Amino acid sequence: EGQIFCLFVQLRLYNIASSFLSFGRFTRQPRLPHCADMYRLQSLATLTLDTLNPQVKAVEYAVRGPIVIKAGEIERYLEEGGTKPFSEVIKANIGDAHAMGQQPITFLRQVVALCTFPELMDSPSFPEDAKWRARRILQGCGGHSLGSYSASPGVECIRKDIAAYIEQRDEGVPSDWENIYLTTGASDGIMTILRLLVSGKDSSRTGVMIPIPQYPLYSAAISEMDAVQVNYYLDEDNCWALDINELYRAYQAAKLHCQPRVICIINPGNPTGQVQSKKCIEEVLHFAYEENLFVMSDEVYQDNVYTPDCQFHSFKKVLYEMGPEYFNSVELASFHSTSKGYTGECGFRGGYMEVINMDPEVKAQMVKLLSVRLCPPLAGQAAMDVIVNPPQPDEHSYKQFRQEKSSVLGALADKAKLTEQILNAVPGIKCNPVQGAMYAFPRIFIPPKAVEEAKALGMQPDMFYCLRLLEETGICVVPGSGFGQKDGTYHFRMTILPSIEKLKVLLGKVRDFHIRFLKEYSALE
């Protein structure tokens, strides 16, 4: 208990302490009064917690929140020779595949390296299929250089490649390259579309429907833009499925105090890992059509589907199959990224969105908004191009590419299964199948005594649990409260990205910890 209280105090004191430690050198010093300066003695800095933009203050983002800061501190402590009951911190908090040892796809890196340093075009160690892709990308760049700004929506030939990829993925459903916008990761696209949609005051303020649990980019963006968060709860008892009745309930309840104008869906789910059925998507789209909602479909995990009975259906394809009535009217933005899938290229900050049925005048406004930020990073655009335009069976690099891709996806499928199995064998933990994406989101039983203790510390019970897990095992996961969950239920999100060996160790430690934790707090009752 003392230890946890210490942790809590540490967290609370983090800011205050940092003013004396890390930031000491530049911290405002007490000043000697002199004549012209007397009145300033009362004043603090211009920008303080009191004067800070209140919308910034309201933002929360658990994936890199206090528990992750704490993990970093422990890591540094270990590096400096400190001792803990473990030798390393395992960061299962964030979907960062390369940080967990996943190797890049060779072909993707070859193309981006060729674009970066075109002298390599003469090198015999680079394959021709990579070279022609790099040449083609560079021909689309100003001065044939990755160092030029692109048009704000992205390089034209890359937009065309993306449209072709979507048409193929969706078995012929038309995709217009002028509806494609490259983005700085998917987050950037999601923020852009939300920014357009937020308007109105008081009860006409834009309501944004989001799943609970959700990826906290959504809640953070909603806070930052001062929109109204409208929660619809996923059905944990039904593999986190989206229940259409719950959508109607949430919508009707929200209409009393805001104007719901957009519905966000994450498919496959983050943090929940479910893959939506076609029927469910149809229901959502029909609902959006009926209620005149803009649909934002976060499909960054479209290549991450693991269970044989599940299949990724794009919202756009389902919309098309519902007929022109729907396909020509529902406003839909879907998002993709270089960061997930089998490439895991988070650091490139690449991504795109496809936006259909957007009012042309609004589109012009959006392009204007994008143009202020100039353009997404060109290396990320190039990486995106490789993802949508990979080696074909008749090309030299195909074999290696296919082997690397299936090796990554195969390992993820194994780890998804393994994670579910081991967690479900632990008393007091229940984990839905990880059908897709990169996370398990198990429900954990926290004994009432532990809940009480956490509350006495002013902490969410699952935060208390995750902090103890971190302190005792070195495993860093994110409390369910950072994603949202039904009142009285507790979860954590962990990635399935560590290598299979490390994942087994990690899951074993979680099991042992959980059993200890249950025992400790049940003994108290």
Binding of residue 51 to a second copy (CB under 8 A) = yes
Minimum distance from residue 417 beta carbon to a second copy (Å): 24
Binding of residue 61 to a second copy (CB under 8 A) = yes
Cis-peptide into 213, omega within 30 deg: yes
Which member of 74, 196, 318, 431 binds a second copy (CB under 8 A)?
A: 196
Helix pair 106-116, 398-424: axis angle to 10 deg = 130
**Residue with Cβ nearer a second copy (5 or 149):** 149
Stretch that binds a second copy, among 108-116, 457-465, 480-488, 506-514 (CB under 8 A): 108-116
User: Which two structure tokens, joined as six digits, stand for 205?
Assistant: 């303020």
| Residue keyed to tokens 């479910």 | 274
Beta strands 294-298; 259-266: pairing state: parallel
Binding to a second copy, residues 448-487 (CB under 8 A): none
User: Which two structure tokens, joined as six digits, stand for 302?
Assistant: 């479209």
Binding of residue 59 to a second copy (CB under 8 A) = yes
By three-state DSSP, how is residue 206 classified? strand
Neighbours of 405 (CB within 10 A): 18
**Residue with Cβ nearer a second copy (224 or 243):** 224
Determine the Cα–Cα distance for residues 181 and 354; give it in Å rounded to an integer: 6
By three-state DSSP, how is residue 294 classified? strand
Binding of residue 344 to a second copy (CB under 8 A) = yes
Q: Residue 250: which of 228, 267, 269 has the closest Cα?
A: 228
Minimum distance from residue 108 beta carbon to a second copy (Å): 9
Binding of residue 33 to a second copy (CB under 8 A) = no
Q: Residue 267: which of 322, 208, 317, 194 has the closest Cα?
A: 317
**Residue with Cβ nearer a second copy (150 or 432):** 150
Binding of residue 52 to a second copy (CB under 8 A) = yes
Minimum distance from residue 446 beta carbon to a second copy (Å): 26
Binding of residue 40 to a second copy (CB under 8 A) = yes
By three-state DSSP, how is residue 352 classified? strand
**Residue with Cβ nearer a second copy (83 or 125):** 125
Which member of 142, 427, 448, 508 binds a second copy (CB under 8 A)?
A: 142
Binding of residue 178 to a second copy (CB under 8 A) = yes
| Residue keyed to tokens 């933005």 | 333
Strand ranges in 192-249 using DSSP code E only, listed in sequence order: 206-212, 228-233
Please answer whether residues 26 and 45 qualify as being in contact, where contact means their C-beta atoms are separated by less than 8 angstroms: no
Which member of 325, 394, 501, 525 binds a second copy (CB under 8 A)?
A: 325
Binding of residue 499 to a second copy (CB under 8 A) = no
Stretch that binds a second copy, among 300-308, 342-350, 424-432, 480-488 (CB under 8 A): 342-350
Which member of 11, 71, 94, 388 binds a second copy (CB under 8 A)?
A: 94
| Residue keyed to tokens 């259906």 | 313
User: Which two structure tokens, joined as six digits, stand for 391?
Assistant: 């080696």
Which member of 124, 360, 393, 458 binds a second copy (CB under 8 A)?
A: 360
Binding of residue 211 to a second copy (CB under 8 A) = no
